[in-house]
Amino acid sequence: MNGYSHEEEIMSAIRRATILKLASAAYEMDLGVMTGLLTRDENGRWRIGNQDLNTWLEKHAAAEVVLVLGSLEDEQPIQTRTCRTCGRDYTDLECPTCRTNRIRLRGRA
């Protein structure tokens, strides 16, 4: 037993899934996405998985960037939000009901 309640485990899984969905959306936009364990090698260079973070940052030197870092081990609780369009509660990046309707109405479903 890990000491977490069933509800806490579910919320942790939802948070992890939400972070991965955000990374997937960034990847689909052809943005730089790295996933893996954040470590420092013997030369002091930061790595994410087997990718050198320093090299990636050097490629983008002097560019205006947005860096989003999400720990998949973060136990921060997820906030339930209420959609301003349909009024339903959700915990995802956007209201899944409205997203489904948007896709359907645009003819992509």
Q: State the total domains in the chain.
A: 2
Give me the domain span that covers residue 29. 1-71
The amino acid at residue 46 is W
Note the pLDDT tens digit of each residue in 28-64: 888 888 989 999 999 999 999 999 999 989 999 999 9
Query: How long, in residues, is the chain?
Result: 109
What are all long-range contacts of 95-102, with beta carbons under 8 Å and residues at least 24 apart? Answer: none
pLDDT at 19 over 90: no
Whether 5 and 27 map to the same domain: the answer is yes
89 contacts 82 by C-beta, under 8 angstroms: yes
pLDDT at 109 over 60: no
Whether 98 and 64 map to the same domain: the answer is no
Q: What is the largest CA-CA distance in the chain?
A: 53
pTM of the model: 0.58
